[in-house]
Amino acid sequence: MSSDRDIAAQRYRKRPVEVEAVQWTGENLEEIEAFSPSSWFGCPDRIAREYVMSGHEIPMSLWVRTLEGEHRASIGDWIIKGVQGEFYPCKPDIFEATYEPA
């Protein structure tokens, strides 16, 4: 009888794939909306506005509808359009470690 300890993990490499992305700066809402046009109540996988005011007059975060539900994107995060046309946020350090300019 085998147990979970007997199962050896295999290694996998991520396939190279090109994606489109825009970095959220807090001041480029129009660019983000043009990249992913829709409203919060539109079809899934689109960006919606949420103004989190911390003494600033710019939105500090956005909500992104993803295949897994809604996710918050903070200033500095990248909004990525995936291979199936879906959108999702990505932290800058993960983006830098995963992607390079094409």
pLDDT tens figures, 19-48: 999 999 988 888 888 898 764 433 334 455
The model's pLDDT over 36-94, given as tens digits with 9 standing for 90+, comes to: 876 443 333 445 554 544 555 566 778 888 888 888 888 899 999 998 889 999 999 99
Exposed (0-12), middle (13-18) or buried (19+): which is 65, by Cβ within 10 Å? buried
pTM: 0.72
Give me the sign of the Cα torsion angle 38, 39, 44, 45: positive
Sketch the domain layout of the chain as residue ranges. 25-98
